[in-house]
């Protein structure tokens, strides 16, 4: 199996466009996933009876195969980017919700009580004390969700979208390995770069965790 | 929308849909065969690896990075790649499914092993147990719940992904999804998707039931 480098050279524009479209789908899904899971996690953290229900529900959603989720959404949103993003968002929820709840759980009760004793209102405690302290665990979830989404975008190629996944269909139909190799390598690269970027973001967001040398 | 679900219901319960070489019963058997065999192979590779890394503490770096590599690897691309390299056989499908399942099994086994308290291992050694005895009689039983979680996770992912066997012209429940997509027959596509989802959920429930049965003494 040899790589046709001239094909790569001729298709740099296509590869760039597909990579951008791929990243857009994955990142939109993760962003939506974070926006949805944050309030749900607070509810699951504060109201015990709802905790099992919410976590259980997200687990069941995770058991549904990705191709099935995309297909099941077809009657709702058709062969569009929306279907891809909704499907991926559903997938991110299980990781994001579980990690955010665990993160909030990991904040020591004494810290919350200290904040309360200083007269801080619950919402402010949540935003300025609990979330920042839970951030490392939440970010671990965001990293997993991002890498997973980047890999899953290509499944949406079956419903006509799918960023770099289109290279797999193309290579398969023409019995031509080069685009497939390019697609796999670019997907892995995207995942590595996105993961590193999130590590850097976490470093910036948690200055108190940096020890002075 | 309502009509669609009505047709879907009719599709799922019609006797003629269930019989024959293109019937649901046959496709279901194929799907289970692919999924279970792939998970078994993955377990045969992943379990010893995870146990070894957890027991010796060597190669933890590999175990941790294997997890994110496994999550990042696009399965569809892998199937097509092995297919183009090795020709038309079930091999690409099994390679992709095993590659998908091994990281989940290794990382969970490793996590289970590291969660065993060092004092417990020291106590076992203090009683004169040898390395392999500590591994098999102390670490393994204590790590089992997390190992089972890893196997469940792997099996769910494999059942979901076995759909792609149909993409490279093999059977399984993915047949309905891909044939339906090609024929613009939404009812058939949805039928296949619902069946795959149902298989995943039922297998997961079965394994979680088995797990609860195996560990019933813990809750007593």
By residue range, what is the domain housing residue B48? 1-212
Q: Is residue B15 part of a domain?
A: yes
**Residue A211: DSSP 8-state:** P
Are A164 and B190 in contact (CB < 8 Å)?
no
Cα-Cα end-to-end distance for chain B: 49
CA distance, residue A19 to nearest chain B CA (Å): 14
- Among B73, B76, B181, whose Cβ lies nearest the Cβ of A155? B76
Q: Which residues of A touch B (CB under 8 A)?
A: 1, 60, 62-69, 71-72, 74-75, 144, 147-148, 150-151, 154-155, 157-159, 164-165, 167-168, 171-172, 175-177, 180-181, 183-184, 187-188, 191-192, 195
Number of Cβ pairs < 8 A linking chain A and chain B: 125
What are the backbone dihedrals phi and psi of residue B90, each rounded to the nearest 5 degrees, phi first?
Answer: -75, -10
**What's the domain count of chain B?**
1
Question: What are the CA-CA distances from residue B191 to residues A70, A152, B35, B82 (Å)?
Answer: 13, 22, 19, 29
Please provide the average confidence, as pLDDT, over all residues in chain B: 86
- Among B73, B174, B194, whose Cβ lies nearest the Cβ of A188? B73
Tokens of B28: 């279901």
Tell me the average pLDDT across A137-158.
90
Are A67 and B156 in contact (CB < 8 Å)?
no
| 3-state SS string for B153-194 | HHHHHHHHHHHHHHCCCCCCCHHHHHHHHHHCCHHHHHHHHH
How far is B33 from A18, CA to CA, in rounded Å? 35
Q: What is the interface pTM, i.e. ipTM, of the complex?
A: 0.80
Tell me the average pLDDT across A168-197.
91
Question: What are the CA-CA distances from residue B213 to residues A82, B90, B185, B206 (Å)?
Answer: 42, 35, 42, 10
A31 CB contacts (<8 Å, ≥6 apart)?
Answer: none
How far is B112 from B140, CA to CA, in rounded Å? 8
**Residue A47: DSSP 8-state:** -
Angle (CA) A170-A173-A176 rounded to 5° is 70
Are A75 and B4 in contact (CB < 8 Å)?
yes
Q: Is residue B220 part of a domain?
A: no
Instruction: State the pLDDT at residue B45.
Output: 95
Instruction: State the pLDDT at residue B220.
Output: 43
Q: Is residue B205 part of a domain?
A: yes
Question: What are the CA-CA distances from residue B164 to residues A132, B92, B178 (Å)?
Answer: 42, 10, 9
- Whose structure tokens read 């919410």? A54
Are B197 and A144 in contact (CB < 8 Å)?
no
How far is A204 from A143, CA to CA, in rounded Å? 15
Tokens of B150: 């890893």
* Cβ-contact B44, B38 below 8 angstroms: no
pLDDT category, A212, cuts 50, 70, 90? low
* Cβ-contact A164, A183 below 8 angstroms: yes
Alpha-carbon torsion, ordered B21, B22, B26, B30, to 10 deg: 110
Are B68 and A147 in contact (CB < 8 Å)?
yes
The residue of chain A nearest to residue B164, with distances taken between CA atoms, is A67
Please provide the average confidence, as pLDDT, over all residues in chain A: 89
Instruction: State the pLDDT at residue B208.
Output: 85
Q: Which residues of chain B have pLDDT under 70?
A: 1, 217-220
**Contact residues, chain A, for B168 at CB < 8 Å:** 172
The residue of chain A nearest to residue B1, with distances taken between CA atoms, is A75
CATH number of the CATH domain containing B107? 1.10.3720.10
Fold of A14-206: MetI-like fold (1.10.3720)
How far is A156 from A177, CA to CA, in rounded Å? 20
How far is B57 from B165, CA to CA, in rounded Å? 37
**B4 or A179, greater pLDDT:** A179
B210 CB contacts (<8 Å, ≥6 apart)?
Answer: none
Does the structure show a pLDDT above 90 at A211?
no
Tokens of A137: 């665990």
Picking from A133, A123, A158, A211, the residue whose alpha carbon sits closest to that of residue B75 is A158
Percent of chain A with pLDDT over 70: 98
Are B71 and A1 in contact (CB < 8 Å)?
no
The residue of chain A nearest to residue B195, with distances taken between CA atoms, is A68
How far is B17 from B15, CA to CA, in rounded Å? 5
Q: Which residues of B touch A (CB under 8 A)?
A: 1, 4, 68-69, 71-78, 80-81, 83-85, 156, 159-161, 163-164, 167-168, 174, 177-178, 181, 186, 189-190, 192-194, 196-197, 200-201, 204
Q: Is residue B33 part of a domain?
A: yes
User: What is the DSSP secondary-structure string of B34-90?
Assistant: HHHHHHHHHHHHHHHHHHHHHHH-TTHHHHHHHHHHHHHS-HHHHHHHHHHHH-SSS
Does the structure show a pLDDT above 50 at A94?
yes
Instruction: State the pLDDT at residue B218.
Output: 61
Are A183 and B74 in contact (CB < 8 Å)?
yes
Handedness of CA B167, B173, B175, B179 (dihedral sign): negative
Count of other CB atoms within 10 angstroms of residue A33: 25
H/E stretch holding A128 reads: none
Instruction: State the pLDDT at residue A75.
Output: 82
How far is A154 from A22, CA to CA, in rounded Å? 8
The residue of chain A nearest to residue B163, with distances taken between CA atoms, is A67
């Amino acid at each position: 199996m040899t790589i046709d480098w001239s094909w790569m050279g001729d298709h740099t524009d296509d590869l760039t466009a597909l990579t951008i479209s791929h990243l857009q789908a994955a990142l939109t899904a993760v962003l939506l996933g974070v926006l949805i899971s944050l309030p749900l996690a607070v509810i699951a953290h504060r109201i015990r009876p709802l905790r099992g229900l919410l976590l259980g529900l997200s687990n069941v959603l995770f058991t549904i195969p990705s191709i099935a989720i995309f297909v099941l959404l077809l009657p709702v949103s058709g062969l569009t980017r929306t279907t891809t993003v909704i499907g991926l968002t559903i997938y991110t929820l299980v990781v994001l919700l579980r990690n955010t709840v665990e993160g909030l759980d990991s904040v020591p009760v004494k810290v919350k009580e200290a904040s309360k004793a200083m007269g801080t209102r619950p919402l402010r405690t949540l935003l300025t004390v609990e979330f920042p302290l839970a951030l490392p665990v939440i970010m671990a979830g965001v990293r997993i969700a991002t890498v997973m989404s980047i890999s899953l975008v290509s499944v949406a190629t079956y419903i006509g979208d799918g960023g770099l996944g289109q290279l797999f269909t193309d290579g398969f139909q023409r019995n031509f390995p080069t685009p497939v190799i390019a697609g796999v390598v670019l997907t892995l690269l995207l995942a590595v770069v996105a993961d590193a970027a999130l590590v850097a973001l976490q470093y910036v967001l948690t200055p108190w965790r940096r020890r002075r040398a | 929308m309502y009509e669609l679900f009505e047709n879907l219901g009719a599709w799922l319960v019609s006797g003629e849909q269930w019989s024959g070489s293109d019937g649901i019963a046959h496709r279901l058997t194929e799907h289970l065969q692919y999924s279970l065999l792939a998970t078994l192979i993955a377990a045969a590779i992943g379990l010893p690896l995870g146990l070894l890394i957890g027991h010796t503490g060597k190669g933890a770096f590999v175990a941790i990075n294997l997890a994110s590599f496994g999550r990042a690897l696009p399965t569809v691309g892998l199937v097509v790649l092995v297919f183009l390299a090795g020709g038309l056989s079930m091999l690409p499908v099994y390679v992709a499914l095993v590659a998908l399942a091994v990281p989940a099994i290794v990382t969970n086994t490793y996590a289970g092993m590291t969660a065993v308290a060092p004092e417990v291992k020291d106590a076992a050694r203090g009683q004169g147990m040898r390395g392999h005895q500590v591994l098999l009689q102390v670490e393994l039983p204590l790590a089992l719940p997390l190992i089972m979680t890893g196997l469940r996770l792997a099996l769910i992912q494999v059942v979901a992904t076995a759909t792609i066997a149909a993409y490279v012209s093999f059977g399984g429940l993915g047949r309905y999804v891909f044939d339906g997509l090609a024929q613009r027959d939404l009812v058939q596509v949805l039928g296949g998707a619902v069946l795959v989802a149902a298989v995943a959920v039922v297998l997961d429930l079965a394994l979680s039931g088995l797990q609860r049965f195996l560990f019933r003494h813990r809750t007593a």
